[in-house]
Amino acid sequence: MSRHYLAILLALFGHFFVLHAQQKFTLSGTVSEATSNESLIGVTIAISELKTGTTTNEYGFYSITLPEGQYQVVVTYLGFQEVVRTINLNKNLKQDFNLTEKAEELQEVVVTEDVERLDIRKPQMSVTSLAAKTIKQIPVVLGEADVIKSLILLPGVTSAGEASSGFNVRGGAADQNLILLDEATVFNSSHLFGFFSVFNPDAIKDVKLFKGGIPARYGGRVSSVLEIFQKEGNSKELKVNGGIGAVASRLLVEGPIQKDRTAFLIGGRASYAHLFLALAGEDNKAYFYDLNTKINHKINENNSVFLSGYFGRDLFNVSDRFVNVYGNAVGNFRWNHLFSDKLFSNLSLIYSDYYYGLELDFVGFEWNSGIQNFNLKYDLKHYLNDKFQLNYGINSIYYVFNPGKIVPNSPDSGIVEEQLTKKYANENAAYVDVEHQISENLSIEYGLRVSQFNRFGQDELYIYENNNPVEFDPFTLVYREADPIDSISSSRSETLKSFVNLEPRISVSYNFKENNSIKASYTRLAQYLHLLSNTSSPTPLDVWTPSGPFVEPQLLDQFALGYFRNIKDGTYSLETEAFYKDIQNRIDYIDGANLIANNAIERVILNGQARAYGLEFLIRKNTGRFKGWLAYTLSRSEQRTPGRDLNIDTGRSDLETGINLGDWYSTPYDKTHDLSLYGSFDLNDKWNFNANFIYQTGQPTNYPIGQFEFEGVNVPYYGLRNKERLPDYHRLDISAILTPKRNRRKKIQSEWVFSIYNVYSRKNAASINFRENEDTGRNEAIRTSIFGIIPSVTYNFKF
């Protein structure tokens, strides 16, 4: 009997021992920069013994659940000293890490994170990341470091040309990019009509561009998501840095309000090119200014709050007779709360406003338009264990669209005040996203976003016969605006049209031979806002309009497949991807469409579809004195707008011609070949040299194919849309950065940046126009170029 009891006791003890041995605990905490307490994004926390690990989120927080035991934790981040710490995990443990720079460097944004090398084990793909230091080193026009111009050097990203606003991702339009600054939407990312971007590189901590495989927490645009986070401010000591350039200067101040708990950041930037115009006797002005602010306060170990903002304005003035003012204003209040060592949350209250103002003194009126939104979002990240993470959240955005208001600027102008019909809408979404490591070699990220859009009532909505705002004349084969037969007025509490869309996402990664992986992704996205623009590059005058009774939301299906490899322990990396995008309900415009001050935009647009497909290649050298990359994209971007009575069997309309006879035609941002080469070389402690070369296929355009004479005037006529192209685009830029040795012995540190844009003065065509030569009477083509060779010098400092 005693032996029986002994056996039972031994079995119970063994069972208890097994349970105890399998018990798991959570290691969590934050990672920050030692000298400023600035949280670090994307830091790798690796557990050597288990060959597993995690990375910090957007607020520097990490969490990983492991079996009980003693482990060696390795914390790595490019540009910082590696931290190795042995821990005994026998209970839930909170462990913060402070990282120190490897060496003092001039570049103020010292957060030179290892995000530029994509983790080949993770399912996330089609992501482009740049460290702020790299952005500052890339040579650009007039020496002003620029986020957007830097992204264009990477595969799948192009622009419409020099001094063009916006950027294009994988053959998508500029309005299909969601641009977020501290989670707030930026509707126009350019200064001076595209010469510069609105993002001050001194204030930036992290830049990430999602081209595909977009996580379910993002929505609202069908091409890409550009996510930018500002620095939080130094909570240990006061720091100042800035720069004086050829056309603009900047200054940024950050420091503690309460040491180690509360910090502030304030940065300003302004251009002064108009002063040179005044010295030359010109009565014109063209300048911009912007302001970045942020305050963060650590309430306790589990709660932190952030208040950030951005304000920017551009002014263009021609002898006070033509005055153009436009810009963005955004603000965000965020509350980070840690429910437990496994559950992190972020609540955000966001305001965003884009304003466009125009005064035409010689006509006698002022014009004001814009878009506002108010956004409430709540995101949670649940670290269930080291192989399973859950992200989920909700958000609601309320929009106010002001298409334009005309106001007389003098009593005798003869202009009657008029407010174009304002539009109102609400966009709601809920999402869940799972990061799941199924085995050591197989990882998957899958999720679902449910979006819902309400177009609310407005003061006046036109009614058309047969509910058709665009008519087709079968005799002239021309589309024209339909005349309204009535109009209705409804309150904002009413819903004119509602849309609901399911947006599934999935990304898979299979790792083999340690440094190789194959990845695939599928992304479904819905976009409910449309930018009304019939130019290849957006302008400040372009107006946003919501989906509604006559405008359907754009719907994207994107597939991507890629191969990724780290070479020589990450010294080199190779990324290749193939993608295919299909977009439904992409709008295009009838011939002769007038988009300015149009109170019934549905009368000039037609719904069609777009597609883009291509191959992307990126090879990087990540370490050593010489670093850089070679990027190449081979792609097509096309659009089709068939007649509205499409015959399913023939794929054509039996009654309407559509646009370009219903056939596929190149979009204005189609670039067949896109090649970029960038290199950075550290000669010694004093000198750093950089160069980049760009080659792109010329963008599609229209040339006249003939002419006819009408009342003694030669009138050109055009054929099918976008059948011709501008000449190919290419240029070479170089820069040299001098850091004086005396910096090491002085509190004030400085550097000189010497750059030459367009070294061989290539006259790249911004446009080609045709005119009749007054002397010969013959037609001639005139090429318009923006820049030739441009040298510049910038002085940067910090203390």
DSSP conformation letters of 463-480: E-GGG-SEEEETTTTEEE
What percentage of the chain has pLDDT greater than the value 90? 42
Query: 726-776 pLDDT, tens per residue?
Result: 999 999 999 999 988 766 667 788 889 999 999 999 998 888 877 777 777
Angle of CA points 703, 707, 710, to nearest 5° = 140
Q: Tokens 């309430």 sit at which residue?
A: 299
Mean pLDDT of the chain: 85
Query: 129-157 pLDDT, tens per residue?
Result: 877 778 888 888 777 888 888 889 999 99
Yes or no: say if 299 and 260 are a contact pair by the CB < 8 Å rule. Answer: no
* pLDDT above 50: residue 114: no
In this prediction, residues 384-402 reach a mean pLDDT of 92
CA distance 105 to 767: 42
Is the dihedral angle over the CA atoms 361, 538, 639, 451 positive or is it negative? Answer: negative
Least confident piece of the model among 139-148, 224-233, 351-360? 139-148
State whether residue 202 is helix, strand or coil. Answer: helix
CA distance 275 to 645: 58
CA distance 155 to 364: 47
Angle of CA points 147, 151, 157, to nearest 5° = 140
pLDDT for residue 405: 87
Is the dihedral angle over the CA atoms 464, 467, 471, 473 positive or is it negative? Answer: negative
CA distance 148 to 386: 36
For residue 622, give Cα distances in angstroms to 79, 83, 339.
12, 20, 38
Is the dihedral angle over the CA atoms 397, 368, 293, 128 positive or is it negative? Answer: positive
Yes or no: say if 49 and 30 are a contact pair by the CB < 8 Å rule. Answer: no
DSSP code of residue 458 = -
- Residue 712's contacts (CB-CB under 8 Å, 6 or more residues apart) are none
- H/E segment holding residue 248: strand 248-258
More confident residue, 365 or 777: 365
Least confident piece of the model among 116-130, 423-437, 625-639? 116-130
Picking from 669, 672, 676, the residue whose alpha carbon sits closest to that of residue 695 is: 676
pLDDT for residue 689: 94
In this prediction, residues 547-551 reach a mean pLDDT of 91
What ranges make up the beta strands (E) of 604-719? 605-621, 626-640, 646-647, 652-653, 665-666, 673-682, 687-696, 700-701, 704-710, 713-718
Split at pLDDT 50, 70, 90, the class of 648 is low
Query: 51-62 pLDDT, tens per residue?
Result: 788 888 888 889
In this prediction, residues 301-329 reach a mean pLDDT of 89
In angstroms and rounded to an integer, the radius of gyration of the C-alpha atoms of the chain is: 29
Picking from 258, 208, 311, the residue whose alpha carbon sits closest to that of residue 37 is: 258
In this prediction, residues 323-351 reach a mean pLDDT of 93
pLDDT for residue 322: 81
pLDDT for residue 634: 97
CA distance 720 to 670: 16
DSSP code of residue 246 = S
Give the end-to-end CA distance of the chain in Å, rounded to a whole number.
Answer: 82
The DSSP line for 339-365 is EETTEEEEEEEEEEEEEEEEEETTTTE
Q: 0.85 exceeded by the pTM?
A: yes
Picking from 388, 395, 502, the residue whose alpha carbon sits closest to that of residue 445 is: 388
**CA 378 distance to own-chain centroid:** 21
Burial state string for 322-333 with b = 16 or more CB within 10 A and e = fewer than 16: ebbbbbbbbbbe
* pLDDT above 90: residue 240: yes
Split at pLDDT 50, 70, 90, the class of 635 is very high
Burial state string for 627-645 with b = 16 or more CB within 10 A and e = fewer than 16: bbbbbbbbbebbbbbbbee
CA distance 394 to 397: 10
Total residue count of the chain as it appears in this document:
799
Query: 329-342 pLDDT, tens per residue?
Result: 999 999 999 999 89
Q: Tokens 């605006």 sit at which residue?
A: 481
Split at pLDDT 50, 70, 90, the class of 777 is low
* pLDDT above 70: residue 537: no
State the amino acid at position 258 in one-letter form: Q
Yes or no: say if 527 and 221 are a contact pair by the CB < 8 Å rule. Answer: yes
Q: Label residue 172 exposed, middle or buried (CB < 10 Å: 0-12, 13-18, 19+).
A: buried
pLDDT for residue 105: 43
Q: Tokens 């595209």 sit at which residue?
A: 194
Angle of CA points 695, 697, 702, to nearest 5° = 145
Picking from 536, 454, 532, 525, the residue whose alpha carbon sits closest to that of residue 495 is: 454
